[in-house]
Copies of this chain bind each other. A is one copy, B any other.
Amino acid sequence: MLVMGIDPGLSRCGYGVVRQKGRVTEAVAAGVIRTDKDDATPQRLYELQIELADLMDSCQPNAVAIEQVLFQVNVRTAMGVGQASGVAMAAAAGAGAEVFEYSPTQIKKAVAGWGNADKDQMGRMVQTLLGLNHPLKPVDAADAVAVALCHLAHRPAASRIQAAT
């Protein structure tokens, strides 16, 4: 079972690919796709589309989990993040993966145990769950891995048992 988590964004879009086999969960790939703030938004969205499609083509994830975009923080930023999440969703569907969305609170609850966990706590839990010696950097990549781990935690028990055999 290979899950790609995505923390969508126009300037920085985090991705993290996690493999679960039996009780072992490991990070296969993690990083950040960056686009240039000086470029026009359509060009940046197109670059994001191409890079995500390439990543999905090379990793072939069974599922793609995307962090849901909320509008509480900043409407101006949320628009870019929403557009980036649209491009990411289309890329995932185009790659034939099942696509899931999780809210920030769901992700924090699943990974750190409570919905108000801060960045540091989330980073440490990602490190622990993957058995890493150091926290995963940059933070957008760690956030994306957390989305993938959230999906694994939300999968029905039946499919986890199936994946373990």
Contact = CB atoms under 8 A, between A and B. Distances in A.
Nearest to A43: B93
B94 A46 contact: yes
B40 A99 contact: yes
Interface residues of A, number: 27
A-side interface mostly: helix
Contacts of A110: none
A96 to B, nearest CB: 10
Nearest to A76: B71
Contact of A99 (B42, B48, B79): B42
- Scoring A43, A78, A82 by chain B CB atoms within 10 A of each residue's CB, the highest score goes to A82
Given A71-B71, A99-B42, A90 B87 contact: yes
A89 interface: yes
A42 B83 contact: no
A42 B89 contact: yes
Contacts of A90: 42, 45-46, 48-49, 87
Contacts of A50: 94
A92 interface: yes
Contacts of A141: none
Nearest to A99: B42
20 contacts: A40-B93, A40-B99, A42-B89, A42-B92, A42-B99, A43-B93, A45-B86, A45-B90, A45-B93, A46-B89, A46-B90, A46-B93, A50-B94, A69-B79, A71-B75, A71-B79, A83-B85, A83-B89, A84-B86, A86-B86
